[in-house]
Amino acid sequence: MVLADGREASPLENNGILIWDPADPLQAVVLKGHDALVYSMVALQGNRLVSAALDGTVRLWDLRPTATSTVLANDHSLPLMRKPDPTALIAIADGRLAYVSKSGLQISIWGPDVDNQPTVFGSDWIIQRAIALADGRLATIEPLLPTHVQIWDLALGTPVAIIKLFEQVAEKLEALPDGRLLLASGGRLEAWDIFPAGQALIDKAKELVPRCLTPKERAALHLPEAQPEWCRALKKWPTNGAAN
């Protein structure tokens, strides 16, 4: 993992973290503080590093200029049908930090300064992996079948969308630069548009619809005969019988 100053961080088998400079490997430093193997790390702005270890501790390391550490959390939860996730620590685009507990049933969120008590959300499903989306939300995936991908609004502390993958295991979950979510499942690779709100999804659907229904078609579906105003605004008025 590359830090803000160009140095790299690597977990060690003796529970430490090696900080080294590729340009001068002899100037290596070993960070000590965890009592078990470090399984997840994330670099933050300001030359800081956060690490999570199997002993349940989550530590914030300030590497300016000498290394000091603060314990952010003591996670005493038990792993439930999941292996320690290397991506349990997630840096969010707006500077916040997220951590998925060992049990996979809680998400802790710290502000950009990472100096306050976290906001903790509970999950109804075990979280196997979480990634940050470009708009500040999280996408999480569960290890059980049928597999679900949940989109979390961290301002609400709850999932706002669910993608069900039926009886297929999601093999890959990745946020694309254009805001879409890449999913690999059952030998298929799919890119999903993730909209910031329900209205944005409705607006996109209006753009994609080839044309609006004619009065006759609307009547057959027991819809009000009058065409919605957006049909005219987006020039989706049906060509057959448009004037009727």
From first to last of the 244 residues of the chain, give the pLDDT tens digit.
Answer: 899 888 999 999 999 999 999 988 888 899 999 999 999 999 998 889 999 999 999 999 998 877 788 999 999 888 766 677 888 999 998 899 999 999 999 999 999 988 778 999 999 888 888 999 888 889 998 877 667 888 998 888 888 888 876 667 777 888 888 888 888 877 788 888 887 666 777 787 888 888 888 888 888 888 887 778 888 888 887 764 444 4
* CA nearest neighbour of 1 among 29, 61, 41, 56: 41
Within-domain flag for 240: no
Same domain, 83 and 191: yes
Same domain, 196 and 128: yes
**pLDDT at site 18:** 95
Q: Which of 41, 74, 107 is the last residue of a domain?
A: 74
Same domain, 112 and 153: yes
CB distance 42 to 97 below 8 Å: yes
Same domain, 114 and 129: yes
Same domain, 196 and 218: no
CB distance 164 to 148 below 8 Å: yes
Same domain, 9 and 69: yes
Residue 184 Cα distances to 139, 170, 175, 181, angstroms? 14, 6, 12, 10
Same domain, 80 and 198: yes
Within-domain flag for 243: no
Spatial distance between the Cα atoms of 109 and 128, rounded to a whole number of angstroms:
17
Within-domain flag for 238: no
- Structural domain including 220 reads 209-233
* CA nearest neighbour of 137 among 180, 86, 191: 180
Within-domain flag for 242: no
Count of structural domains, the chain: 3
Same domain, 180 and 196: yes
Within-domain flag for 241: no
Same domain, 94 and 189: yes
Same domain, 197 and 213: no
Within-domain flag for 121: yes
Answer yes or no: pTM beyond 0.75: yes
Written as six digits, the tokens of 61 are 């390391």
Spatial distance between the Cα atoms of 75 and 220, rounded to a whole number of angstroms:
58
Torsion, Cα of 20, 25, 26, 32 (10° steps): 20
3-state secondary structure of 126: coil
**pLDDT at site 198:** 67
Same domain, 48 and 8: yes
Same domain, 197 and 106: yes
